[in-house]
Amino acid sequence: MFWTTLIGGLVATAGTGMALGAALGLTGLVILQVFSNGATSLAVDAIWNVFNSFTLSAVPVFILLGEILLRSGVSERAYSAFSPMFRRVPGGLLHTNIAVCTLFGAVSGSSLSTAAAVGSVAYPEMTRRGYNKDMVVGSLAGGGTLGLLIPPSLSFLIYGALTETSIGRLFAAGIVPGLMVGSLFMAYLLIRCARDPSLAPRDESHASLFEIIAGFRQIWPILALIAAVIGSIIGGLATPTESAGLGVIFAIVLTSIWGDLTLRKLLDAIYHSALLFASVGFLVLGATILAKSVSILGVPQQILETVAESGLGAYTVLLIVVLIYLLLGCFFDGLSLMIMTLPVVFPLLTGLGFDPIWIGVVITIVIEIGQVTPPVGLNLSVLTALTNNEVSLGRVAIATVPYWLIHLFAIVLLSLFPILALFLPNLLF
């Protein structure tokens, strides 16, 4: 009866076109009313506790920090800085796409913003030079997913707030897997373009060490700002909210003097930050109500007992969870999917003995895959729009399949060697 109400409620509400946050919240209220003797007032307490969380207060500030930097002309500077490094490497500017996306992952914390910011600069330049369009959009869509894994990450912030997990440890845990996935992307591009040079025209001009260093002089203030924000959190010198707040102040001063931030752009950044946090906050509100209804009824514990009695191993259950995420990723955006499923998935996986920090990294990688999975893959839609439909949604989806597979390979590596994610958190904390 419970599962019929849960699934039926979600399908009925979401099927009307209702916002996902409202669908989750209304379903949770129905469950509380029907199965918990009308204890709907408990939902109010749960919402207050979550939104009164000091950790969650960091989310809108980090969103604002990313928006300010994204509107300050950093993308053009970063692209110019990284380009000389890969000039003579097979794949050329395709590697630059991955490198700049990695940098912007540390700036925006958002996959969608990363793909849009880098793509708007890279696509016109690379098509003018004769690069294969499918390879260009594939690298941008894949590289854009790094925005969720490289700290500071919205995924880690929300995961930490909802599961009461250390944000500093999560940020530290995302560094090595993020760099690993980015390196795997580059390795794929190197092999593919070495076998078929027509995909990426070679630039035979030599870039001197001085030229490379001169390029990085253009972006050192941003690198210093990112290092200071992340370092202060990981080092325990400041809370995420404090660090993000100081980062916003320094970013405004820095980009006003050194970049091209104007009052109009700053107001746009504040406006878009408010819109994004409102949508995320509404999702969190609905998921909190649903989580309360599910936890009161002891559903996660029942699922865990059922799994234990079934004899399925921990990694078999993990495989099933990953497959469910991949399926749902076809229909929900990444953050929505994570917020919606954490009430059941987190207690289930921690109950099986998986480390909460490691779970956060794996879930983030899985929802990254959803960003490049049609029909809802947001990175695909953004890049199709950036190309003015020169590259169709279907072609972009096909071009991102290798990056999709690399993400799955990264999950396998993390399952075989959990230390890849846990080494830095254990070292620093």
How crowded is residue 181: how many other Cβ atoms within 10 Å of its Cβ?
26
pTM value?
0.78
Residue 154 lies in a domain: yes
pLDDT tens digits along 273-307: 888 778 777 777 777 777 777 777 766 666 666 76
The pLDDT, as a whole number, for residue 299 is: 66
Task: Report the distance separating Cα 205 and Cα 226, nearest Å.
Answer: 32
Name residues of the chain where pLDDT drops below 50: none
How crowded is residue 353: how many other Cβ atoms within 10 Å of its Cβ?
7
Residue 44 lies in a domain: no
Residue 189 lies in a domain: yes
Task: Report the distance separating Cα 62 and Cα 221, nearest Å.
Answer: 18
Residue 86 lies in a domain: yes
Residue 340 lies in a domain: yes
Task: Report the distance separating Cα 294 and Cα 83, nearest Å.
Answer: 51
Give 203's DSSP letter: -
The pLDDT, as a whole number, for residue 410 is: 93
The pLDDT, as a whole number, for residue 22 is: 75
The pLDDT, as a whole number, for residue 416 is: 92
Residue 36 lies in a domain: no
Q: Number of structural domains, the chain?
A: 1
Domain of 356? 50-428
Q: How far apart are the first and last CA of the chain?
A: 45
Token pair 């869509």 is at which residue?
141
How crowded is residue 51: how many other Cβ atoms within 10 Å of its Cβ?
14
The pLDDT, as a whole number, for residue 146 is: 79
The pLDDT, as a whole number, for residue 104 is: 73
The pLDDT, as a whole number, for residue 376 is: 57
Residue 18 lies in a domain: no
pLDDT tens digits along 87-108: 777 877 888 888 887 777 666 6
Residue 204 lies in a domain: yes
